[in-house]
Amino acid sequence: METSEPPPKTCRCGHSRGHHMVSADPEYTPWGWVRLVVGISTRPTKIKYRCRRCDQVVESTTAGADLDSYY
């Protein structure tokens, strides 16, 4: 059976971005951190999805829709 679809993005234990063992790890600019510390909600510049079991980054995104969900 042949398929042209790319393999799903998973870590070595097979967890994908939506799995409960995979947590989002937003990254902010230095100025973004300052805003967070003083309690201003800040849009991350990048989100990494990291498996908490093997510590492998499953996927990273800079897509606007994904970043907005952490704003």
How many residues in the shown chain lie near Zn ion by CB under 5 A?
Answer: 6
CB-count exposure of residue 30 (10 Å: 0-12, 13-18, 19+): exposed
How many whole angstroms separate alpha carbon 57 and alpha carbon 24? 10
In the complex, the smallest distance separating the C-beta of residue 13 from Zn ion, rounded to whole angstroms, is 4
Of residues 1 through 40, those in contact with Zn ion by CB under 5 A are 11, 13, 15
In the complex, the smallest distance separating the C-beta of residue 54 from Zn ion, rounded to whole angstroms, is 3
Which residues here bind Zn ion, judged by CB under 5 A? Answer: 11, 13, 15, 51, 53-54
